Structure 1
Amino acid sequence: MARRHCFALDLVDDAALIAEYEARHAPGAVWPAVLAHIAAQGVEAMEIWRTGDRMVMIAEVADDYPRAVAAPAEIAEWETLMWRFQRALPHAVPGEKWVPMQRIFAFGDQQ
């Protein structure tokens, strides 16, 4: 059974940059090497949601996630490009992008 991980990250609060960021994540726009690397790490499904300049990423991952896999050169290029649009959360450690979130409520746990 897949596990779910959630992460948060902010975007630069600029409408044009946000529009470009979304365009770079439209169907077919993400570089194939990036998608392959995400899958190789054990990610089975992933979604990114946005409100304003705040984003949440939800990843369904294999039991052995994260798998140690070598990153092709395109990954560093993609990450450098993405930093143009992204800004770390105030409580992120230096260099950290997507900050893991802690689940504090589950509807099923309430019953």
Structure 2
Amino acid sequence: MTHRRCFALDLVADADLVAAYEAAHAPGAVWPQVIAGIRASGVLDMEIWRTADRLFMIAEVEADYPRPIAPELAAVDAHWQAAMDRFQRRLSSAGDEKWAPMTRIFALAEQVGASPEGNTK
């Protein structure tokens, strides 16, 4: 069984840094070992969305996420995270975590009378 996990993070509000952060995440730009570590941790799919300096990450993960990853992948990921730190600002709600986990508060499918066609039952 898979699950969707969502996280938020802010970027430093500087247009040049935001552009550099986006460039670092362009297709093919993320280090292959970082991608391998993400997959090894149990992530099946991941997207990062941005509005202004706010990031929103959506991850489809395996039931046993997060899995431990090999030390060599963890070391590369730590290096990547350190390189990304200059672009990022943790949310106050995140505590020690870089990405603040989000809580779902609405799901259309759970609404009484909602149907995929938009009609009420």
TM-score, normalization by structure 1: 0.94
C-alpha offsets along residues 52-102 of structure 1, whole Å, 9 cap, x if unaligned?
0000000000111111223422111101011010010022213x2101000
Distance, in Å, in 2 between the alignment partners of 1:69 and 1:27 is 23
Matched, 1:83 2:85: yes
Q: Unmatched 5+ residue regions in structure 2?
A: 113-121
Query: Contact 1:9 / 1:98 at 8 angstroms: preserved in 2?
Result: yes
Change (3 A) 1:59 1:71: farther
Q: What CA distance in whole angstroms lies between the structure 2 residues aligned with 1:71 and 1:85?
A: 25
Following TM superposition, the consecutive aligned residue runs of length 4 or more in structure 1 with deviations greater than 6 angstroms are none
Aligned to 1:107: 108
Distance 1:67 1:28 in 2: 24
3-state SS of paired residue (1:58): strand
SS in 2 for 1:68: coil
Q: In the alignment, what sits opposite 2:23?
A: 23
Identical aligned pairs, as a percentage?
A: 62
2:94–2:101 contact (8 Å) kept in structure 1 = no
Larger relative helix fraction: 2
Distance in 1 of aligned mates of 2:3 and 2:93: 25
AA matched with 1:35: I
Note if contact 2:43-2:60 (Cα within 8 Å) is conserved in structure 1.
yes
2:118 is matched with which residue? none
Please tell me the root mean square deviation across aligned C-alpha atoms, in Å.
1.0
Q: Normalising by the residue count of structure 2, what TM-score does the alignment of the two structures yield?
A: 0.87
